[in-house]
Every structure is written in structure tokens, then in C-alpha cells.
Amino acid sequence: MAVRVQAYAKINLTLEILGRRSDGHHEVKTILQTVDLADRLDVESAPRLRVDCDDPSLSGDANLVWQAATMLAKRAEIEPKAHIFMRKRIPVGSGLGGGSSDAAAALVALNQLWDTGLSVEELYPLAAELGSDVPFFLRGGTALAEGRGERVSPLPALAEMPVLLVCPDQTLEHKTRKLYSQITAAHYSDGGVTRRLVQTMMGGHFEVSILQNVFENVAFQVFPGLSELYQRVASLVATRPHLSGAGPALFCLPSGEDEYQQVAKSLRYCNANVYLVQAIIPRFA
């Protein structure tokens, strides 16, 4: 038996930090949206657990997909026997949630392969243990995430809106930790921006002017060249670019083919990948 699933990227329409919790984690409020840039996982039965990737640096046991497999097998009280092959399309360490999405997709695929019979709700505790964004990816779509990001509430879906993604070809070791280390109490908020966008979306509307990401206050000092890249993109698009997650990926919405062509042409020598994608609701869950 074999199972194939897509692991979709996400963007953060809002991202606010409310403060630091007693457990050391930060309390966040964010609106997440899946887009159709995706990794692919092919999962099949095997004598033992094996995880391979077309990016060899991601093969083996030092990734969330391996952890997802071993945690699900322990929950089901079975041996983790499967071969998982990942085809990466989401840039690594970009703020688009590729690693978390891969882990969620592994849970979904192995739940089918091993016939463990767990509902999505029963997979949530495993997903939350794997990482803050992983629970969201079990369903994807449009959602409000709170707490560390593990408390997920669905929101009215965006129309299939075109989204321009600009992903600098750079990685930063311990990126999220470094970005959070630059956040001070002055950057904390009460979640009001996110509440306002939620209210707008619940009313059947979408206001692009509300989009906000707290990491935009510090990311341009952390990522070399990001400020210049941002300014170049901003000069070519109709709506202001925003950072996704802790970056360095940028997105603009709504966008279109003309903007994509202009930006791709302008950045062809800038070590950045440019994509035109769609906001979607995944169908695998």
C-alpha cells in the first residue's frame, strides 16, 4: 500500500505577540492561510522506518517527519514501519511552514497507511507536541491560531486569491530564536489587529490594509539584504509586501500574472525565488 499527500505552505495574514508566558513560550495571535506551493510526501509500507528527501540534508532521523512517524506509532502501539520520501518545493527556513506542514502531512498519511483510525481531533495533541504550527496544517485553509499557535479555530475561507511569494535564497541558523530574541515588550500588543481582521472576515469581507506582522519590526536588521529586497518588491506591486512568519519570505495579495512577471524579471539576479500561488483549502484532511 502507498499513500501520497501534499504538504502546503502557509502565510501569516497577521502575527501578533501578546507577551511571554511562564513556560518560556510566547503567546501569539495569528491568522494563517495555506497556499498551493507544496512539498509532496510519498509513503509506503517498509520493514523499518526510513525517511528520504530529494534534499539529502533533510533525510534521516533529524527532522519533524521522523518524529511524527515515531510519535504516531507509539500512540497506536505499533512498530514504525514505513518508507517516507519527501519532494521539497517549499523553501527551507523561509517562514512558510514547510517543516511543520511536512510533519502534519506525515501524520495524515501514516494514519491512513497504518490504518490507526485516529480522527483529525485525535491527531491534534501529537501535532501540538511536534511544533506550534503543526496543528494548523492538519486541516489548513484559513484559521486563527492562539496560544503558542496550537489552538486553532477555522475562519471563513478566502476566495482563491492569487498571492505573490518572494523567497530570498538564504537560511539563518536558529532563525526563530534569533528573531524572538530581538522582540521586546514594546513590540507586544493586545491582539487587536488580529481581532479586527477576524471580525471583518466573519462579516464576509477582507481588508488587505489590516495585515500586519510583528517580526517586520526586527527582521530587516537580522536578514542581510532583506530591506533592499523589500524596497525593490514594494516599488513594483500594488499592495504592500508583508513578511510571512519569522521570514525571510515576503508575500503580496491580491496579486496577478503581470506583477509576478515584473517582480520575477527584476529579481532574476537577486538570489530570490518568486512564485505566483493561490490561497486554497487543502483537500487531504
Active site residues: 10, 133
Beta partners for residue 19, in sequence order = 27
- C-alpha cell belonging to residue 192: 487587536
Q: What does the alpha-carbon distance between residue 44 and residue 112 come to, in Å, rounded to a whole number?
A: 10
Q: What does the alpha-carbon distance between residue 7 and residue 89 come to, in Å, rounded to a whole number?
A: 10
The single-letter code of the amino acid at 123 is L
Q: Which one-letter DSSP state was computed for residue 203?
A: T
Q: For the chain, where are the alpha helices, taking DSSP H only?
A: 64-76, 98-113, 120-130, 134-137, 175-182, 192-202, 219-222, 226-234, 257-266
The single-letter code of the amino acid at 90 is I
| Nearest of 139, 50, 42 to residue 87 by alpha carbon | 42
